[in-house]
Copies of this chain bind each other. A is one copy, B any other.
Amino acid sequence: MSSSSQAAAPRRTWVPDCPADSPFSLANIPFGIIRTRNDNTPRPAIAIGNHVLDLRALTRSSSFPFAEIFSSTSSDNNANDDNDDAELKQALSSPTLNAFAALGRPVHRRVRTALQALLETDTPHATALRDNAALREEALLPKTTVRMNLPMSIGDYTDFYAGYHHAYAVGCMFRGPENALQPNYTHLPVGYHGRASSIVVSGTPISRPKGQILLDPAATGPKKPVTGPCRRLDFELELGCLISRPNAMGEAIKVDDADEGHIFGYVLLNDWSARDIQSWEYVPLGPFNSKNFGSTLSPWVVLADALEPFRCHGVENPVVRNEEETGGLQDYLREKVASTSVPGARGGMFDIRLEVDFITPQGDTTTIGKTSASQLMWSFPQMIAHHTLGGCPLRTGDLLGSGTISGPGAREKGSLLEMTEGGKKEIMLAGMEVRTFLKDGDAIVLRGDCGAGVEYGRVGFGECVGRIQTGLP
C-alpha cells in the first residue's frame, strides 16, 4: 500500500461541499447501496463529504476511462486483464455489495486507492471525473437526494459478547462482582447466532415488540407470565464486521489470516433488546424474541483498509495476564497484529470513538454515552478464528456483531440497562425528560469516528438511527 507512506501534506478533494470535519473525507471512501428518485434500482456508491458517487454510473459511461483508472493505480501485483475489469464492473453495478466484497481485500484496496486519486485535487487521474461535466452531473449526487439500502445481503448474523466492561457490568447485576464473568468468558469469544431477517438499515422505524413477560420475577409460587408490549426496551451500541471471502465448510480460518482474507469492512450496529422478554425466555438456550424484532445497521461500510491507521490494543485479557494459573490463551486465538499497510500501527482493535445520542419525541438531543471500540477484549480476527474453529462456513455478507461496547466509567455505557443500573436509576435528558428505558417516539443515534486521521482527514461511520414506534395492538 502506498498512500499513507507518502508525504504527510494535507490532501483535499475537488468535490464541492466537503467540510474539513466530514466523516467521509478522502481518508475514508466508505461503500454503500443507494437508490434515487429517478432510478430506484439499488446500486453501489461511495460517500465523499456531502456527496455520494454512483459507481454504477462510472461502469456505464462511455466517456470514463474505467480500465485505466481502476487498474493503473493498482498497488497489488495481480495482472489486471479484461476479465478482471468485467468482473469489477459487474460487482459495481450489483444491487448489494456482496459481489464487490467477494472480490477480496486486494481488490478493495486497489479500488479505494483509485477512487482517492480520482477525487483528490491535482492528481493526474482527477480529470477523468472532475473535468467531465456530464458524467459528474450524473454520478456525483448530493447526499440528501439518495436513499440508502442495507449494504449487503446478510446470510447469517452472529452476535458476540466481546465488550469486557459490558459483560462485567451485566454480570455484576445478575450474579454479583465475584461471579460477574462466567468461567468461559476469558477463554473464548462468547457469541450466539442472531436473526438475519430482521436486520434493517439506519432510519427504519422499530416497532415496540410484544412478548411474554414475567412481571414479578421474585414472586414465590408458580410463574405466571403475561403477554404484552415490552416495557424495558433498550438499545445496544455495537460495531459490526462484514465478511468478504467465504471459507469452506470444515475448514477453520487462522486468526492471522482473518483480516486480510475475510474481512470486508465495518458498520455501526444497534442490537435493540427487550430486557423483560429476555430475562424470562433466555434460559437455557439464549436470547430469542428479545433480539429478533429488529437490528439496525449504519448504511456506509468503512473498508478494513480505512481503519488500518487507527489500530490499537484492546482491554487486556486476564487469561493472558495470568498465564500460569489459567493455562493462557488457546493457540488458535493468539494473534500477532501489525498493520500490513500502515507502519507502526499495531493491535487487533481500532480506536473508534463511539457516541450515543438520545432524541426525545420533542426533538431534544442528549449525548448519553461516549466510549471507544478499544474497550473490546476480543478482536474480530479472534471472533472469526473461534467461529470457524469447528468448521462453520462464513459466507460473503455475513455479519458479526461485537456485542455491546461500554467503557468502565459511568458515562461510557453502551446500553440503558447499564446506564440505569437495571432500570433502578433514571437518566436525565434535555427537555426536562427522564428515562429508564425507551418510550414510543424516542430515537437513538449511534456515531463512530476515528477523528482526524493521517494526512487525508477523518474516518467516520456516519449515523445509525432508529426511532421506536408503537407496536401493533
User: A interface vs B, CB < 8 Å?
Assistant: 155-156, 161, 182-184, 187-188, 190-198, 200, 207, 209-212, 222-227, 230, 249-252, 274, 277, 280-290, 292-294, 325-327, 330-332, 386-387, 389-395, 398, 471-472
Contact = CB atoms under 8 A, between A and B. Distances in A.
A280 B187 CA distance: 10
Contacts of A156: 195-197
A188 B287 CA distance: 13
B249 A294 contact: yes
Nearest to A293: B390
Contacts of A188: 212, 225, 281
Given A156-B195, A251-B472, A326-B224, A389 B281 contact: no
Contacts of A196: 155-156, 196
Contacts of A395: 197
Given A155-B197, A222-B327, 9 more contacts: A156-B197, A182-B283, A184-B283, A187-B212, A192-B193, A198-B392, A211-B389, A226-B330, A292-B392
Nearest to A277: B390
B389 A284 contact: no
Contacts of A331: 227
A209 B285 contact: no
A391 B290 CA distance: 11
Nearest to A159: B285
Contacts of A394: 197
Contacts of A393: 197-198
Contact of A210 (B211, B212, B389): B389
A284 B182 contact: yes
12 contacts: A155-B155, A156-B197, A184-B280, A188-B225, A193-B193, A195-B392, A196-B196, A209-B389, A210-B390, A227-B389, A250-B472, A282-B285
A414 to B, nearest CB: 17
Contact of A281 (B184, B195, B325, B332): B184
A225 B398 contact: no
Contacts of A292: 193, 387, 390, 392
Contacts of A277: 390
Copies in the complex: 2
Nearest to A157: B193
B392 A281 contact: no
B193 A289 contact: no
A392 B250 contact: no
Contacts of A198: 249, 391-393
A252 B183 CA distance: 38
A217 to B, nearest CB: 10
Contacts of A183: 222-223
Contacts of A285: 161, 190-192, 282, 286-287
Contacts of A398: 197
Contacts of A251: 472
Contacts of A281: 184, 188, 190
Contacts of A227: 330-332, 389
A331 B228 CA distance: 11
A220 to B, nearest CB: 12
Contacts of A294: 249, 391
Contacts of A194: 193
Contacts of A293: 250, 390-392
A211 B292 CA distance: 27
Contact of A193 (B211, B230, B288, B387): B288
Nearest to A182: B283
Given A196-B155, A222-B326, A283-B184, A289 B386 contact: yes
A250 to B, nearest CB: 4
B327 A390 contact: no
A274 to B, nearest CB: 7
Contacts of A210: 252, 389-391
Contact of A222 (B224, B282, B325): B325
Contacts of A390: 209-211, 230, 274, 277, 289-290, 292-293, 471
Contacts of A161: 285
